[in-house]
Amino acid sequence: MSEQISPQDRRAPEQGAAPGYAERYGTALLPVFGTPQKILARGEGVHVWDTEGTRYLDLLAGIAVNTLGHAHPALLSAMTKQMGTLGHISNFFASAPQIELAEKLLELAQAPAGSGVFFANSGTEANETAFKIARRTGRPRILALSSSFHGRTMGALALTSKEAYRAPFEPLPGGVEFLPAGDEQALAAALAPGDVAAVFAEPIQGEAGVRPLDPEYLRALRRLTREHGTLLILDEVQTGMGRTGHWFAHQAIDGLQPDVMTLAKGLGGGFPVGAVISFGTEVHDLLQPGQHGTTFGGNPLAAAAGLAVIGTLVEEDLLAHVRSAGARLRNDVLGLGHPLIEDVRGSGLLLGIALAAPVAKQAAAAALAAGFIVNAPDDSTLRLAPPLIITDQELATFTAALPGLLDAVATVSAPEGEN
């Protein structure tokens, strides 16, 4: 996503795409994303098809978004029904689905009395909201972690560690400092003056290559932020909504509860929905009436999508499935004993296959050519974040193909310094 692509490359017709589309994409869209890998035409269940009619097993789910895969009947019917009843109303009004989804999220988050929800449309907007909540404490400093990713709008970008993402857009909102993730001493020292509004953290750093924070460090984060009256803001945009086999990744750790949690990606199952949950009475009134808002956030259609996703996860007992399927996939991949496979990080169905050489981008391309959609968040990690409905058998087709894919890239020597 971060590569620089020359205008010539961008405009070169993509092999395999329908005649004209790749070129038209390059002409009609801003060059922010580089050349699309394929032009996709439709999806059903865990598969998508490109405009050539080639089928792919979708092991990325639109980056941990398509919780129920593609065209799931429950999501389709709930959204169709809602759109035919009441789609959008503005936040001058409220709707039953919005209130029900907020209540449901509070219940799933085991949020205490006095907690509340704000709906947004994306992960970055959810984090902007959390940023504004943090500012309202009146404290000047905000901490984020090395390798963090919180989004691309200015506030969320200020919290994102990658220099290449931030530098072109400075000045960004100030007061943000980055701490080495996992370093408890650095955390304690940074919090000691008592002037830190909030610490932002992802339980598993997805964009950084699926790197979980050490549970001990997460516990220390909770303990130390509480000690110093600092908010712990967990960004569960990628890890939330069942992705790790828990409703929210932090629930894997007994007794750990943030002060604020942000959600998006999987919440709407493909429809853009973001949410911010504030826990307890102390955070509840930091944002006063009129201090924040959104036109679309939490509209009935978005809420219906969220309710359908949650309802289906419950009805089909998918969290238990995610835990078992994820554990099996991890074991099977490690069990391949392939020399290029060093480790499998992550949990549930958010896994990063750590490679022993910087060939992840080539391996992802080879996977695509073989009919599997995965991605390479960095040079040496393959990320898997399939729909949560995927079966063990479907996952096994990838495990079976993986050694061949890795052998193929291992024999093609990686270009020096390739990124």
Ligand X SMILES: *Cc1c(COP(=O)(O)O)cnc(C)c1O
List residues with catalytic annotation: 149, 235, 265
User: Using CA atoms, how far apart are residues 321 and 316, in angstroms rounded to an integer?
Assistant: 9
What is the nearest approach in angstroms of ligand X to the Cβ of residue 232?
A: 15
- Of 64 and 78, which has the nearer Cβ to ligand X? 64
**What is the DSSP annotation of 308-361?**
HHHHHHHHTTHHHHHHHHHHHHHHHHHHT--TTEEEEEEETTEEEEEESSS-HH
Is the distance from CB of 293 to CB of 125 less than 8 angstroms? no
- Of 127 and 380, which has the nearer Cβ to ligand X? 127
- Of 237 and 308, which has the nearer Cβ to ligand X? 237
Task: List, in sequence order, every beta strand (DSSP E) within 181-326.
Answer: 196-201, 204-205, 211-212, 231-235, 260-263, 274-278
Tokens for 326, please give them.
């994820």
235 appears as a binding residue in the annotation: yes
149 appears as a binding residue in the annotation: yes
The residue behind tokens 């896994």 is 351
Q: Which amino acid is at 413?
A: S
Residue 264 sits in the site that holds ligand X (CB under 6 A): yes
Residue 151 sits in the site that holds ligand X (CB under 6 A): yes
What is the nearest approach in angstroms of ligand X to the Cβ of residue 272?
A: 7
Letters for 198-217 (x = contact with ligand X by CB under 6 A, - = none) are: ----x---xx----------
Count of chain residues binding ligand X (CB under 6 A): 15
Is 35 buried (19+), middle (13-18) or exposed (0-12) by CB count in 10 A? Answer: middle
User: Using CA atoms, how far apart are residues 50 and 188, in angstroms rounded to an integer?
Assistant: 51
Q: Which among 329, 322, 323, 319 is positioned nearest to 397, based on CA atoms?
A: 329
Is the distance from CB of 55 to CB of 371 less than 8 angstroms? yes
What is the nearest approach in angstroms of ligand X to the Cβ of residue 138?
A: 25
- Per the DSSP assignment, residues forming a β-bridge with 56 are 48
152 appears as a binding residue in the annotation: yes
Residue 123 sits in the site that holds ligand X (CB under 6 A): yes
Among 82, 98, 124, 380, binds ligand X (CB under 6 A): 124
- Of 122 and 375, which has the nearer Cβ to ligand X? 122
Is 131 buried (19+), middle (13-18) or exposed (0-12) by CB count in 10 A? Answer: buried
User: Using CA atoms, how far apart are residues 393 and 397, in angstroms rounded to an integer?
Assistant: 7
Scanning 84-92, 146-154, 173-181, 242-250 for contacts with ligand X by CB under 6 A, the matching segment is: 146-154
Residue 238 sits in the site that holds ligand X (CB under 6 A): yes
What is the nearest approach in angstroms of ligand X to the Cβ of residue 366?
A: 25
Q: Which among 260, 265, 300, 290 is positioned nearest to 276, based on CA atoms?
A: 260
- Of 139 and 265, which has the nearer Cβ to ligand X? 265
- Of 266 and 394, which has the nearer Cβ to ligand X? 266
What is the nearest approach in angstroms of ligand X to the Cβ of residue 210?
A: 11
The residue behind tokens 């493909």 is 270
Scanning 37-45, 100-108, 233-241, 301-309 for contacts with ligand X by CB under 6 A, the matching segment is: 233-241
Among 237, 267, 303, 318, binds ligand X (CB under 6 A): 237
Among 25, 119, 131, 149, binds ligand X (CB under 6 A): 149
List residues forming the annotated binding site for pyridoxal 5'-phosphate.
Answer: 123-124, 149, 235-238, 295
Q: Which residues bind ligand X (CB under 6 A)?
A: 122-124, 127, 149-151, 202, 206-207, 235, 237-238, 264-265
